[in-house]
Structure 1
Amino acid sequence: MTMNPAKECIDTRRRQLCGTAGIALAASGLGLLGAPGGAQTPVAQPVTAAAGGYPPLERINAGLLEVAYADLGPAKGPPVILLHGWPYDIYSFVEVAPILAAGGHRVIIPYLRGYGATRFLAAETFRNGQPAALAEDAIALMDALHIERAVLAGFDWGARTADIVAALWPGRVTGLVSVSGYLIGSQAAGKMPLPPEAELQWWYQFYFATERGRLGYEKNRHDFAKLIWKLASPKWQFDDATFDRSAAAFENPDHVAIVVHNYRWRLGLADGERRYDAVEQRLATAPAITVPTITMEGDANGAPHPPPSAYAAKFTGKYEHRTISGGIGHNLPQEAPREFATAVIDVARMAI
């Protein structure tokens, strides 16, 4: 029986990838191997299944962190930085990254602070989860890698981080792909009550506000995160191997501290650091995002998210929104990798 090579390379249940041949086929099916004007772009280096879909991780000192990251594609290709959220990790992009790399992009996928092999450089550094800190981590990583400008793309915490960088440092951002749109907020906004049904969706935020919640997450983080996956993506039939691969990232020694501080800070129950005050003051004004942007939403996102009509006006440059159908939930890059990769390619072209 003749097999489809691209299908043979990607097991959609287990999210495992083969090498360059299948990646190139997948990319060519999307029309991603040709650059604008028909010019050919370099083909990515092989991505081995033995590495779980990524080559061995790189590490670099960047700001307060030693950042662990995957690096795919040609070193001089136009850079794309993919940012994950909570409770997820770099494997949300395990099928997105090879498609982009095969299309000629250099693709950087870092573990955020508190996840995976990323570590703080100093034991005494405050384990701060406030959004401004994560945004400055992204800038520090770009500086360390000598990347002046990049497409930023992410979801959940990653989308918020990308939104902040695009709003405050637009000169560093070629284009933006943001799942669930404009996610910039402030402590003042976080204190405003929502309708009861919306408040119910934030149950874990209130849980983390208590010492019981911190202890509970510390003790049960594997099952807690798995529950969030199911609630946030109610139609995604992921298997145990797919979840467990990502759950390993939550064993980072700083994970619980970062997650709990993030949600307590949002409610005004924990202080941030004065070093980020100027950034937070700018974010509290809800600044517009001027860079080329594509926002995305899954049609079955079970996590709290605003409707596209609520944020469209915040994007004042070239802008497009895409709703992805087919039961796609909160972890859109992993649930709809081709659509996410296509959005990244398209927003890069919008910037030309």
Structure 2
Amino acid sequence: MPTTLDPTRRRLLGAAVISAAALSQTPTAAAAGRQDAKVSGGSPPALRTVQANGLEISYAEVGPSNGPPVILLHGWPYDIHAFEAVAPLLVSQGYRVIAPYVRGYGPTRFLSPDTIRNGQPSAVAFDTVAMMDALRIKSAILGGFDWGARSADIIAALWPERCRGLVSVSGYLIGSQAGGSKPLPPAAEFQWWYQFYFATERGRAGYEANRRPFNRLIWQLASPKWSFDDATYARSADAFDNPDHVAIVIHNYRWRMGLAEGEARYDAFEAKLAAAPTIGVPTITLEGDANGAPHPEPSAYAAKFTGPYVHRLVEGGIGHNLPQEAPGPFAQAILDVTRL
């Protein structure tokens, strides 16, 4: 029978010190944290690093080292603080929780200045597989949103043996350059305005110069009913100061439109993804009832999940950053997915 999080315990754990200790590492982030996330007793543990796929990946880890592993993957333009209230809920149930900074975010760094700053989806997803190899994690529950959901989808499709269960906000997000070249209805094209902006050199320069106000605008548009405060945004915005952030973001969106090339070593992965493979691992997809970002309708992708599958609508004005806006339902999906 699925474990159900007690509502009172959920509220208490949502403000637990684990979240602040694990996910607020820099002095700036710690000082800017909400008052209900202050650490009481002891110093926050340092972020950990592991070398994988040409990167030194920085990640937060909480929970018992022998617990069932859960890997939580953030999207653009967000960071691991999206999971700060999710992590303690999972730790309370005995899970080992790992939240890595995606390439181009936070302290994650390329090991060589000569490495291509590649943001294509299969490369971003393979970073997680390589990290799992380096940490000797054979399989894990994967949960994510935005880019993170896409990476989790890709891993579940291409390496199902590495994914015990999948929790994907906005469902099936696997795409291809061929698919990205097809025009959409005008209203749908309008929602992707930033992708067309990034396709221009003016857009690249504008994002470089204005990444913090630009990404704050994305937060507001993607989650129109989420009244986040300045401190909440500032903690995540520090991750955009990564020296490779702009290059990775611009390459990602240009690659989708066929305006930038990927790396040949990922060609075989992309060929498989272009066929829109089904996903057979146990899956729960989630959608907020006020998601202002472009996203597919659940009915459009339900057939892509051929294993045990449930879709859940999370109500209450929940937008695109579902784990941070609704940590309880997101954590509950992680707990439930391997019991479908």
Do Structure 1 and Structure 2 share a fold, with TM-score over 0.5? Answer: yes
Q: Which has the higher contact order (CA 8 A, sep 6+)?
A: 2
Residue aligning to 2:49: 59
- 1:123 has 2:113 as partner: yes
What amino acid maps onto 2:17 in structure 1? C
What amino acid maps onto 2:265 in structure 1? R
Residue aligning to 2:299: 309
Q: Percent identity?
A: 67
> 296, 311, 329: which one pairs with 2:286?
296
Distance 1:342 1:9, change over 3 A: closer
CA contact (8 A) 2:10 2:89 kept: no
- 1:229 has 2:228 as partner: no
- 1:166 has 2:175 as partner: no
- 1:111 has 2:110 as partner: no
Deviation per residue, 1:35-87 (Å, 9 max, x gap): xxxxxxxxxxxx96379x97421011112110100001000000000000000
CA distance, structure 2, for counterparts of residue 6 and residue 227 of structure 1:
30
Residue aligning to 2:272: 282
CA distance, structure 1, for counterparts of residue 17 and residue 191 of structure 2:
38
What amino acid maps onto 2:16 in structure 1? L
CA contact (8 A) 1:222 1:247 kept: yes
Runs (4+) of structure 1 exceeding 6 A deviation are none
CA contact (8 A) 1:114 1:256 kept: yes
Alignment partner of 1:349: what SS? coil
CA contact (8 A) 1:294 1:322 kept: yes
Residue aligning to 2:84: 94
Q: After TM superposition, give the deviation of residue 277 of structure 1 in Å.
A: 0.4
What amino acid maps onto 2:221 in structure 1? L
Residue aligning to 2:28: none
> 177, 199, 204: which one pairs with 2:167?
177
Q: After TM superposition, give the deviation of residue 5 of structure 1 in Å.
A: 8.5
CA RMSD of aligned residues (A): 1.8
Deviation per residue, 1:203-244 (Å, 9 max, x gap): 000000000000000000000000000000000000000000
- TM-score, structure 2 normalization: 0.90
- TM-score, structure 1 normalization: 0.87
Alignment partner of 1:259: what SS? helix
Distance 1:316 1:6, change over 3 A: closer
What amino acid maps onto 1:288 in structure 2? T
CA distance, structure 1, for counterparts of residue 241 and residue 86 of structure 2:
24
CA distance, structure 1, for counterparts of residue 258 and residue 48 of structure 2:
36
What amino acid maps onto 2:252 in structure 1? N
Distance 1:19 1:281, change over 3 A: closer
Residue aligning to 1:212: 202
Q: After TM superposition, give the deviation of residue 316 of structure 1 in Å.
A: 0.1
Q: Where does the alignment leave 5 or more consecutive residues of structure 2 unmatched? A: 1-7, 20-36
Alignment partner of 1:115: what SS? coil
Residue aligning to 2:261: 271
CA distance, structure 1, for counterparts of residue 253 and residue 10 of structure 2:
41
- 1:152 has 2:142 as partner: yes
What amino acid maps onto 1:140 in structure 2? A
Residue aligning to 2:59: 69
Q: After TM superposition, give the deviation of residue 271 of structure 1 in Å.
A: 0.5
CA distance, structure 1, for counterparts of residue 184 and residue 307 of structure 2:
30
> 64, 68, 80: which one pairs with 1:78?
68
Alignment partner of 2:94: what SS? coil
Moved more, 341-350 or 257-266: 341-350
Q: After TM superposition, give the deviation of residue 255 of structure 1 in Å.
A: 0.1
Q: Where does the alignment leave 5 or more consecutive residues of structure 1 unmatched? A: 11-15, 21-46
Residue aligning to 1:32: none
Distance 1:164 1:9, change over 3 A: closer
CA contact (8 A) 1:54 1:70 kept: no
Q: After TM superposition, give the deviation of residue 8 of structure 1 in Å.
A: 6.4
What amino acid maps onto 2:87 in structure 1? A
Residue aligning to 1:136: 126
Q: After TM superposition, give the deviation of residue 201 of structure 1 in Å.
A: 0.4
Alignment partner of 1:311: what SS? helix
CA distance, structure 1, for counterparts of residue 10 and residue 143 of structure 2:
25
